Structure 1
Amino acid sequence: MESLELYDEAARERLVPEPPKRVAAPERTPFERDRARVVHAAASRRLAAKTQVVGPQTDDFVRNRLTHSLEVAQVARDLSRALGSQPDIAETAALAHDLGHPPFGHNGERVLAQLSEPCGGFEGNAQTLRLLTRLEAKTFDADGVSVGLNLTRATLDACTKYPWPRSAAETPRGVHADGSPRTVLKFGVYDDDRPVFDWLRAPAPADGSGSRRCLEAQVMDLADDVAYSVHDVEDGIVAGRVDLTTVDWPAVWETVRAWYVPGADDALLDTVLAGLQQQDSWPRSAYDGSRRSLAALKNLTSDLIGRFCGDVQHATFAAAEGPFVRYRADLVVPEATRLEIAVLKGVAARYVMQAEDRVALMGRQRELLAELVTELARRAPDGLQRPFADDWREAADDAGRLRVVVDQVASLTDASAVAWHRRLCGSLGSVP
């Protein structure tokens, strides 16, 4: 059965009905149209100038949020196709998964979460939903209210990594992929976006808890985990910070326990590492920058991604008969795979994220965003871009107006946040 046929009318529904388009080209599926809308969204273009691990302007090679999202999308699409689900849905969710990230990544998210307490907090995934269903200009309802890109229910649901409100969020622990501490509550919807959230989550998932993620969202989340665990190590190797032939593994194990897997002892992690080192492409000599070294490094990243996704695919098939779509099955990630990913994360964390120069820079970035929010809130609506100035004037109270200021700042790239701060507040040392 074609995977498209496994998605019913409710899965294809849009908040605002749209008539078929009269075009000369072959008609696209609803999910292909969703993908195109995310690709062409302004928020997608801005990802090219937003921090992934290190700032996008520091080197031509390192990944930014856009290149990372493209790589996550490729992994998600391939895994989705292998499972028999609709690959356009998982790919679109992957392309959209970081749209809500503010300047300076999770470091900036931490600041905005603190400053937006009076209006219900800030969370990058909740901001993604807000962008897709409100802030991106594409479609308006009968009352003249923006509904954002007007994506299908199945695609919006796949984009929802944390399908619960702030009130249901668990206490954060551990660290993010960029090394910043997890201090921000993880949730997927602000209170004033609940109507569209409740719409996209209907009908309720079969387990009755209301917090179960659809399979396509699980694929997106795993693809994100796989991509950054492998690619952060690759970036660290090329930057000269990581050499897999001389790693201080006992020190890395301390980082793995502190950041990712608290209960893992050295013996277990040594066994996991031995399994990774059995890959034919695991390096036996140091990276030297030659084309041969670059090719070997690319083969390693390709083999690792294939290893992780292949093991997940086999485990998922072994656990259920399918079909592997929506709420009819769940993705199964073997414990061995979870630990192998944690080992790679630990390498990047130890040699890249804990560097002293990066920690100092992150402190300056937080100061900059805090000052920018304060100054824009004082000047608003002057200083806000036209769409946000309009939102500010229409806001019902101070909390609503603060939310608009946060929306404006979250929309900025790293470079534009620095430029806006310089123009409105003066310089703040060296914040590249």
Structure 2
Amino acid sequence: MRYDFDVLVVGGGIVGLSTAYALTRARPGLRLGVLEKEDGFATHQSGRNSGVIHSGVYYRPGSLKAGYAVGGAAEMVEFCREQGVPYEVTGKLIVATERAELPRLHALAARGRENGIPVTELGPARIAEHEPEVAGLAALHVATTGVCDFPAVARRYARLAGEAGAALLPGTELRAVARRADGVTVQTSAGELRCAVLVNCAGLHSDRVARLAGDDPGVRIVPFRGEYYELAPGRRALVRGLVYPVPDPAFPFLGVHLTRGVHGDVHVGPNAVPALAREGYDWRTVRPRDLAGTLAFPGAWRIARRHWRYEAGELHRSLSKRAFTTAVRRLLPAVTEADLVPAAAGVRAQAVARDGSLLDDFAFAGFDPGDPRSVRRLVHVLNAPSPAATASLPIGREVARRALAALAAGG
């Protein structure tokens, strides 16, 4: 087969673009393309988050999440500094507002130290030194957490990859994949393309791309919408930096938190509610194909049975601004309904197994350099949850490593 590209990356979010950037650095002269169905890059998960550079304090020691976040946070700060992308290392507070949360807070402190993260345990007076308007019984101060402009980071990855010779193809939708012994042929909205190795970084559609390529991903993407408010401009002084509740270990979301961004805005949220479309950023957006796929998947019903009490609270806060405000007031007593202004929502691509378990770590499939029997010519990123943006540099290098190994193995 005559190739248009040695490697073709599907998905122009921050993981796909960091992979492209890593490939151009690792193999100058590589014939590389990046497909993105939208007219611009980082328009979905990568462009619709709170912009937090996560420290890694939450993640199980030894997990990919922990390793990538701790190293990736430092790399992200350095990348932003070198490239002129807005960022700030603010530190953050994780605040316990009830006595029942104190054991979990102490466990987080131990986990943070095991991951090599500087954490300081604070009492109420020390909380007030950092955040005068925040109420709590105790808190952790995590010094390495920060914020940045992740869409700007993604655009910089794209620019650097393009300057190194990558063909950036926004507005080009993948429609079909045919894997052959001598390569991969893809049908796109702009015509046919041929490559030696296809890399799937399609985020919200990663499981579909895997199935298009003839692989069973073993998981289904179940979309959860994160709904945000922000503080009205005149009330932004209520929050100096980043303030989080103690997370519930039974649910894979961090709860309603307060985030001062690099441009001075203060995000409040999110709620985590089922989305009625993979790109369903409000209740009005319903895609019958997406919704039918979720409802037909046994894992989605098992999640609902397992977490229905928690999700009922999330839905209540989604539909009632008063209930949402009440939740925020646990951390920030001075806030009122009038202080909260609706902000853009995001959708999380949560990979779920058939038994209803939520994949908690990064997950790759396709070609594995350590397994000669693995699927050739394809590399899939099936789950890239938070802190994927924080850790996008090390994740991009790992995906690039797999793609180049697949190329060297003849696909």
Scaled to the shorter chain, the TM-score interval is under 0.3
> Which structure has greater helix proportion?
1
> Which structure has greater strand proportion?
2
TM-score computed with the length of structure 2 as normaliser:
0.23
